[in-house]
Amino acid sequence: MQQLLTILLNGVTSGMIYAAFALALVLIWRSTRIVNFAQAPMAMLTTYIALVVIDAGYSYWIGFAAALVSGLILGALVERLVIRFVDSSSHINAVILTLGLFIVIHALAAIIFGNQFRSFPAPFGLTGRTIGDMNIALTGYDIFKVVAVLIVFGLLVLLFRFTDLGLKMRASAFEQEVAKLLGVRVSRMLTLGWALAAVVGSLAGLLIAGGSLVHPGYMDSIVVFGFVAAVLGGLDSPGGAVVGGLLMGIGLSFVSGYLGQDLVALAALIILIVVLLLRPSGLFAGTAARRV
Amino acid sequence: MTTDTIQIGITDLTVQYGLVTALDSVSMTIRAGATTAILGANGAGKTTLLRTISGLIRPKAGSITFGGEELVGVSPDRMSRKGLAHVPEGRGVIAELTVEENLRLGALGRNRAHDAVTLDQVYDIFVPLAGRRTSSAHTLSGGERQMLVIGRALMATPSVLLLDEPSLGLAPKIVAQIFEIIATLVDAQSMTVVLVEQNARSALSIAEHAVVLDLGKVAVEGPATVLAQDPALRHAYLGF
């Protein structure tokens, strides 16, 4: 019972982070049909920026804000300066390019910040609590992770559902030409989409780093888990990404708790293969009629 | 507004796709407050003409003036604010958005020279849409989709409506209904309509003026009633 509860709580908290990361991938996939593998090192880079700010003596929260703002800028820059100039006759070109960016940002971070592990602070306690004779493995920081991701999801829902800007962004994602004819500056919307995705990715990077160690490669496994979560949810569906992320988090937590830590990466890939074989358009395939 | 005012002037417009010339030195005038039908067979260059007017295609040569202002080189996302609304071929609804979201989107880039059109006004014109406000647009029938895209174009309060094959794939009864609505709009709001159609008979019945394109060139141009009554012309280009 104790173990089950611990595994479940761990699964939900890490699942929320996978969900955030998957959502970042989905935001870009939806509007540009590109899987942005560089999302992981971009988040790593912005987390290092937070670390530099915190190490300079500023509070955790200033570092946190600095990472999100630099994520916004980095996302926009990557779209404006790199992705926009890719020959779009085949989507594979851009995907290969994001893999290239993955390596470049990695190398840059190793040069600038060093290739060793550095500890990253957490803003809230890292100890669980005891209720009766039960140890509940839910730390203050875990609660913060869940709340932070939920707030970001809520803000994105508000943006996309209820604002004119969100409506324009969705129109640009679904039908670029029609959106243009209706007066939407589609290229701006794409830049903004990349920027927002990078903010969400940066949030995932920060939350994973807290109370743990950062290293130029610390986000690399997350891009795999986030990608599997996004595929699980159907790649096109933000809601699906969230559910996919939670399923991944809980599933992998069970694997690590009952079968062993070593099998987690393997389990993620097995889930990916099973999903692609059985439900290639995801668990929540709805509007699959688009591509004719 | 008199029908003599020139709304759009097209001079020596040439468009090429690689080695294929889609429009070959086309000149015509679109008069304000009237409907001009652009007719012709498949591949005559009708859709290319509309896409070039709205900036989606850059011509190799020639000019397009809109109320005296040159349109060649203006990006397509600026056209709606200038008062040109282009309803593309194949419906052009954004299937993932709801009916109401599609309509709201139409108003965001609207032409501010005219008074805003409210959602309710659009629902009054296109009654079947009123009951489907919150439905996703991909659940609409072909006729409803056509109503939605025209309604969305009206939300942009245009002075010129470019319609690409609104009758495509629709039942004759629905086509008649939609054409009647277009005719009413032209009369009531003195809107200029450029109507690209393969369905020449229906188009000529509501147009004042018609241009027949053949292999990228203007074959015939004249009042719609004259074209409709010339049997040789009908047989040669219009197929009825």
Closest-CA distance of chain B to residue A199, Å: 25
For chain B, the DSSP string reads --TTSEEEEEEEEEEEETTEEEEEEEEEEEETTSEEEEE--TTSSHHHHHHHHTTSS--SEEEEEETTEE-TT--GGGHHHHTEEEE-SS----TTSBHHHHHHHHHHT--TTSPPPPHHHHHHHSHHHHTTTTSBGGGS-HHHHHHHHHHHHHHT--SEEEEE-TTTT--HHHHHHHHHHHHHHHHHH--EEEEE-S-HHHHHHH-SEEEEEETTEEEEEEEHHHHHH-HHHIIIII--
Closest-CA distance of chain B to residue A37, Å: 26
**Single-letter amino acid code for the residue at A42:** M
**Tell me, what DSSP letter sits at residue A211?**
T
Tens of pLDDT, residues B173-187: 888 888 888 888 888
- A30 burial level (CB within 10 Å; 0-12, 13-18, 19+): buried
Instruction: Give the chain A residue whose CA is nearest to the CA of B149.
Output: A178
Confidence of residue A52 (pLDDT cuts 50, 70, 90): very high
Q: Are A160 and A192 in contact (CB under 8 A)?
A: no
Phi/psi for A197 (5° steps) reads: -60, -40
What number is the average pLDDT over the span A68-85?
Answer: 92
Q: Are strands B6-17 and B61-66 parallel, antiparallel or unpaired?
A: antiparallel
Rounded distance between C-alpha atoms, residue A248 and residue B26, angstroms: 60
Tens of pLDDT, residues A85-144: 887 777 788 888 999 999 999 999 999 988 889 888 888 877 777 777 777 777 888 889
Confidence of residue A66 (pLDDT cuts 50, 70, 90): very high
Instruction: Give the chain B residue whose CA is nearest to the CA of A290.
Output: B95
In this model, does residue B18 exceed pLDDT 90?
no
Confidence of residue B41 (pLDDT cuts 50, 70, 90): confident
Closest-CA distance of chain B to residue A79, Å: 20
Rounded distance between C-alpha atoms, residue B141 and residue B146, angstroms: 9
Among A243-247, A258-262, B73-77, the range scoring the smallest mean pLDDT is: A258-262
A172 contacts in chain B (CB < 8 Å)? none
Angle between helices B99-108 and A164-174 (to 10 degrees): 100
Rounded distance between C-alpha atoms, residue A190 and residue A265, angstroms: 32
A167 contacts in chain B (CB < 8 Å)? 97, 101, 104-105, 108
How high is the pLDDT of residue A289?
42
In this model, does residue B2 exceed pLDDT 60?
no
Q: Does A129 touch chain B (CB under 8 A)?
A: no
How high is the pLDDT of residue B1?
42
Q: Rounded mean pLDDT of chain B?
A: 88
Rounded distance between C-alpha atoms, residue B50 and residue B181, angstroms: 21
Rounded distance between C-alpha atoms, residue B226 and residue A180, angstroms: 37
Question: Between A182, A183, A287, which is nearest B96 by CB?
Answer: A287
Among A54-63, A221-230, B218-227, B231-240, the range scoring the smallest mean pLDDT is: B231-240
In this model, does residue A219 exceed pLDDT 70?
yes
In chain B the domains, ranked by start, together with CATH numbers, are: 6-238 (3.40.50.300)
Q: Which two tokens stand for residue A288?
A: 């699959």
How high is the pLDDT of residue A89?
75
Whether ipTM exceeds 0.85: yes
**Tell me, what DSSP letter sits at residue A259?**
I
Q: Does B201 touch chain A (CB under 8 A)?
A: no
How high is the pLDDT of residue B92?
85
Instruction: Give the chain A residue whose CA is nearest to the CA of B103.
Output: A182
In this model, does residue B238 exceed pLDDT 80?
no
How high is the pLDDT of residue B5?
82
Question: Between A164, A171, A177, which is nearest B56 by CB?
Answer: A177
Closest-CA distance of chain A to residue B141, Å: 15
How high is the pLDDT of residue A278?
80
Write down the domain spans for chain A: 2-116+131-217
A182 contacts in chain B (CB < 8 Å)? 80, 105-106, 108-109, 152, 156
The pTM (predicted TM-score) of the whole model is 0.85
How high is the pLDDT of residue A45?
94
Which residue, among A165, A169, A174, A181, would best test binding to B if mutated, counting the most B CBs under 10 Å from its CB?
A181
In this model, does residue B13 exceed pLDDT 50?
yes
For A140-208, the DSSP string reads HHHHHHHHHHHHHHHHHHHHHHH-HHHHHHHHHHH-HHHHHHTT--HHHHHHHHHHHHHHHHHHHHHHH
Q: Rounded mean pLDDT of chain A?
A: 87
Residue positions counted in chain B: 240
How high is the pLDDT of residue A173?
87
Cβ neighbours of A233 (radius 10 Å) = 30
In this model, does residue A282 exceed pLDDT 80?
no
What number is the average pLDDT over the span A203-227?
Answer: 88
In this model, does residue B114 exceed pLDDT 70?
yes
